[in-house]
Amino acid sequence: MHSFIRSSFSCLVLILLSLFAIPSFCVETYKIEGKLVPSSTLKDLSQLEPTTKIILDGGKYSALIRKNGKFVIDDVPQGSYLLEISSKKFIYPKIRVDVDSEGVKPFVTIIGSEWSNTGPSLQYPLELSARSTSEYFMVRDGFSIASLFANPYIIMMGFSVLLLFIMPKMMANMDPDALRELQENQTQNPLAEMPDLSSTIANFMSGGNNNNANAERRRN
């Protein structure tokens, strides 16, 4: 900052000394121009806030956008800059702008990547379109019968209730032989051989044998 002031001060002295010299002679500055253009997210430029600002290097240079979306940043010396569009409603990509004696060269940049890696270059004057709108709010899920029935627990419950009604009817309509077969199968079901958790714990506590317990249970 100090060196900047000093240089502008020396500029001033130079101007005073050589009143007839061209003022732009001491520091060569450039103009960064561009335009915000409508896109699918921003259909009409009047949706933009009037406070939308173009910021260079964290506020070293800045400009407001005009009504037609155009912006001009004056008096930018040579260097490499980060250009941001400060808007509350829309998200814009961040742009790296290199200013040298050949002119202004913009590139795409990603925050967190190394500055020495330039991204793909962009056309100049800049034409920027909004990437997306800013979503500040989470959608609150309200109460609806449909969402209630979409709940897996409710579906499970409903299904079991349904079975409660249908099963006896199915059993009643079954062939008596088939029914007997089914019952026999059920007794041989390997699941029945599985140790029961509660009795296991009970046995463990009392120091009993769980085979015995199972055998007793089967006897019952």
Partner 1 sequence: MPLDKELLAPRRSIRIKYWRQVFDGNENILAFKGYENTAISVSQRDNDYIVRSWESHSGFMLWENRIKNVGLYKNSNPIIENDAPKVEVIFATNNPDVLILLEGITVINLNVIDGKQIWRSDLADSSTILYKLVEFNGKVYGVGLKKSFSSYTIEVVTYDISSGILKTQLLNSKVGNIKDMTVLGGGTQDGFIIWSEGGFIRVNRLGTTFSEQTSLEELYENVIPSFGDANGNLELLDLNIGSRTEFLVQVPTKKGNTAAAFKVDHVSGRLVALYDFEERSENSIYSATFDKNERIIISRSRVVAENVSEVEIIAPSTGTILGNYKIPYSLNSYGNLVKSVLDVDSKAMGYRMLVISADGSMHFWKDHDVVWKSEESLAHTIEAEFLDLPERKLWTQESDELAEQPEETETISPLIRYLRRVKTHIEQLKDFPAYLTAYIQRLITGDYEAEFKSTNKSKVSLHRDTFGFRKLLIFVTRTKLVALDTINKGQIIWSRFFGNDVSEFSNIFIGKSVTRLFRLNGLTGENFIPAENENSFPPELSIPITTKHDIGEKSLKGCKVVKNNVQPFDIIEIWTLNFPEGESIAAIAHRPPIEKIASLGRVLGDRSVLYKYLNPHLVAIATLSTSTSTDLNIYLVDVVKGSILHHAIHENVGSSHPVRIAQIENSVVYHFWSENNNEKGYVIVVYELYESENKDQRFESSVFSSFAHDRPYVSAQAYMFPYGVNAIGVTTTKHGIATREFLFALDTDQVFGVSKRFLDPRRPQHVLTNEDKEEMLIPYDPAIPDNKKWVLSYHLSVAGIRHIITSPALLESTSLVLAYGLDLWFTREAPSKTFDVLSEDFSKGTLLATILGLILSILITKPMVRRKKLNARWY
List residues binding partner 1 (CB under 8 A): 1-3, 8, 12, 15-16, 23, 46, 50-51, 55, 57-60, 62-67, 72, 74-75, 80, 82, 86-89, 91, 96, 111-112, 114-116, 134-138, 140-143, 148
Q: Which is nearer to partner 1, 64 or 174 (CB)?
A: 64
Which tokens is 169 given? 């009817």
CB closer to partner 1 out of 67 and 219: 67
**Min. distance of Cβ 16 from partner 1 in angstroms?**
7
Gap between the Cα atoms of 87 and 115, Å rounded: 24
Smallest distance, Å, CB 193 to partner 1? 30
Q: How far is the CB of 181 from partner 1 (least distance, A)?
A: 23
Q: What is the largest CA-CA distance in the chain?
A: 119
Written as six digits, the tokens of 122 are: 């962009």
Is 63 within 8 Å of 73 (Cβ atoms)?
A: yes
Q: Are 51 and 57 in contact (CB under 8 A)?
A: no
Q: Distance (Å, rounded) from C-alpha 77 to C-alpha 89?
A: 31
In sequence order, which residues have a C-beta less than 8 Å from that of residue 96 and are 6 or more positions away?
Answer: 80, 81, 82, 83, 106, 107, 108, 109, 115, 118, 119
* Cα–Cα distance, 220 to 213 (Å, whole number): 11
Assess whether the previous peptide bond of 125 is cis (omega < 30° from 0). yes
Smallest gap from residue 160 Cβ to partner 1 (A): 13
Q: Does the bond joining 106 to the residue before it have cis omega, within 30 degrees of 0?
A: no
- CB-wise, 83 or 122, nearer to partner 1? 83
For partner 1, which is the closer residue by CB, 57 or 196?
Answer: 57
Question: To the nearest whole angstrom, how small is the minimum distance from the Cβ of residue 149 to partner 1?
Answer: 11
Q: What is the closest distance, in whole angstroms, from the C-beta atom of residue 11 to partner 1 in the complex?
A: 10
Of 4 and 204, which has the nearer Cβ to partner 1? 4
Question: By C-beta, is 173 or 198 nearer to partner 1?
Answer: 173
> Which lies closer to partner 1 via its Cβ, residue 50 or residue 120?
50
Q: What angle do CA 19, 20, 23 make, to 5 degrees?
A: 80
CB of 95 to partner 1, least distance (A): 12
| First-to-last C-alpha distance (Å) of the chain | 94
